[in-house]
Amino acid sequence: MAVEESNIGNAEDKKNKIKNKTLGTLYDMRDAKTCGLIEENKALGVRKYAKPVGVIANVVPCTNPESTICCLALSTLKTRNAQIVSPHPRTQKTSYETVQHARKALEKIGAPVDLMQCIKQTSHAKTAEVMANCDYAVATGGAALVKVVYGAGKPAQTVGAGNVVSIVDDTVDLAATAHKIRLSKIANNSASCSSENAVALYEGIYENMIEALKSEGGYMCSTEEREKLRNYMWPDGSHLNRDIVARPATFIAENAGLTVPEDTRFLMVIGEKIGPEDRFSGEKISPVLTIWKWTEYDEMLDRLEKILKFSGEGHSASLHSENDDRRTQLALRANVGRVVCNMPHAHANSGGWNTGLPTTDTLGCGSWAGNIFSGNVNWLNFMNITMLAIPKEEFIPEMEDLCGNYLKKWGQD
């Protein structure tokens, strides 16, 4: 339904995603305590009691108009909250129908159906009104939405733009890695903010990896084709053409005036510059992959910092390497909430059956993206906790005990 309504993504991938997100969210919260006493530390004399937040505004994107609701419905109900969904104008029917399914399920077991409601005819004004009226907001959308959400003056969970770069070195199997990148890149026609927007290939494997990517359905654009694609994707030079969002590579190629093989699954362009002067260095939300080449890993991490500063800071980064030092370096240096290694990024970043990352459709991007949280938003984000304290045996530490190392090194003045 969402594909018919918006032309975004493809139905089969969406069906799989909805199922996996629902199961994954349910699996993550199994056995979790969200009602009454949830924790007790007898030594400290502290008990923790879970409390709901109230009525939550859920602003849903057109890229995932149903799976976002599935994840957040389970998370907000698990924590005993009600939810009002504000859908995206392009996919409001899909989101509305998704909520109707949830209401039927609530009715079947005698739970109040108005725990889940959805705006039927959406507008920016209504979205703002929902957020202003509710007790808490969660909004899955870009930087512009973040400002609107926080402008509503309510506590809120927001997300940031993705611009995932997958770095590949010479320690991995290239064919297997190219396959993983393809799986991630073409999933739902790159509707996910977790799909790679670029790959950065070590120079020693560059030519072979390009060939491996071509074997996976990648089409390398010539300089002339790159220019045609650029003009089609950013007609005014700065704003992404909304008609290309999550459309098949062959559709984009045809409309850009390129002739590509019928089995082309993603288009590849060489990265030239970082920043607004070369939009291919940013988020594209389409099966278009920018290719970078690197020689020194440190220099690549410097370059990644610049790329993320331009687009995608706070979101995620990817590495295909068996070198654990490189994994650690990336995690320490990249200003992102997640670093995914040796996995199809889009299938792992927001949860999956081969990763321990929590399942979500809402990826917090931290203060780097103006968000309050840098993790995968789930049920833990939708409850308050009341701490009850009873007296414990008094213990007052000595300053010398706490500052001993400092005093030993620097002395007491």
Q: Choose which of 1, 46, 105, 145 interacts with another protein (CB under 8 A).
A: 105
Stretch that binds another protein, among 9-17, 31-39, 175-183, 248-256 (CB under 8 A): 31-39
- Cβ neighbours around 372 below 10 Å, total: 13
Site size toward another protein, by CB under 8 A: 43
Q: Choose which of 1, 46, 106, 260 interacts with another protein (CB under 8 A).
A: 106
Residues 387/46, Cβ–Cβ less than 8 Å: yes
Q: Does 26 bind another protein (CB under 8 A)?
A: yes
Residues 160/74, Cβ–Cβ less than 8 Å: no
Q: Does 385 bind another protein (CB under 8 A)?
A: no
Q: Choose which of 77, 148, 191, 336 interacts with another protein (CB under 8 A).
A: 77
Stretch that binds another protein, among 68-76, 280-288, 323-331, 365-373 (CB under 8 A): 68-76
Using alpha carbons only, what angle is made at residue 139 by residues 132 and 18, rounded to the nearest 5 degrees? 135
Residues from 124 through 143 that contact another protein (CB under 8 A): 126, 129-130, 133-134
Residues 191/245, Cβ–Cβ less than 8 Å: yes
Largest CA distance in the chain: 78
Stretch that binds another protein, among 112-120, 143-151, 187-195, 360-368 (CB under 8 A): 112-120
Beta carbon of residue 83, minimum distance to another protein (angstroms, whole number): 7
Give 34 or 286: the residue with its C-beta nearer to another protein. Answer: 34
Tell me the C-alpha distance between 217 and 62, whole Å: 26
Stretch that binds another protein, among 1-9, 118-126, 243-251, 349-357 (CB under 8 A): 118-126
Tell me the C-alpha distance between 314 and 308, whole Å: 8
Q: Bridge-partner residues for 193, per DSSP? A: none
Tell me the C-alpha distance between 116 and 55, whole Å: 10
Cα separations (Å) of 70 from 161, 162, 240, 248?
21, 21, 28, 25
- Cβ neighbours around 12 below 10 Å, total: 10
Q: Does 22 bind another protein (CB under 8 A)?
A: yes
Residues 96/5, Cβ–Cβ less than 8 Å: no
User: Would residue 62 show up in a list of annotated catalytic residues for this protein?
Assistant: no
Beta carbon of residue 93, minimum distance to another protein (angstroms, whole number): 13
Cα separation of the two ends of the chain: 72
Q: Does 380 bind another protein (CB under 8 A)?
A: no
Tell me the C-alpha distance between 110 and 338, whole Å: 40
Tokens coding 199: 């790959």
Stretch that binds another protein, among 115-123, 168-176, 325-333, 345-353 (CB under 8 A): 115-123
Tell me the C-alpha distance between 38 and 59, whole Å: 29
Q: Choose which of 18, 58, 60, 78 interacts with another protein (CB under 8 A).
A: 78
Q: Does 60 bind another protein (CB under 8 A)?
A: no
Q: Does 81 bind another protein (CB under 8 A)?
A: yes
Q: Choose which of 6, 58, 83, 157 interacts with another protein (CB under 8 A).
A: 83
Please give the residue ranges that form the binding site for another protein (CB under 8 A): 22-23, 25-26, 29, 33-36, 52, 54-55, 70, 73-74, 77-78, 80-84, 102, 105-106, 108-109, 111-121, 126, 129-130, 133-134
Q: Which residues are part of the catalytic machinery?
A: 193
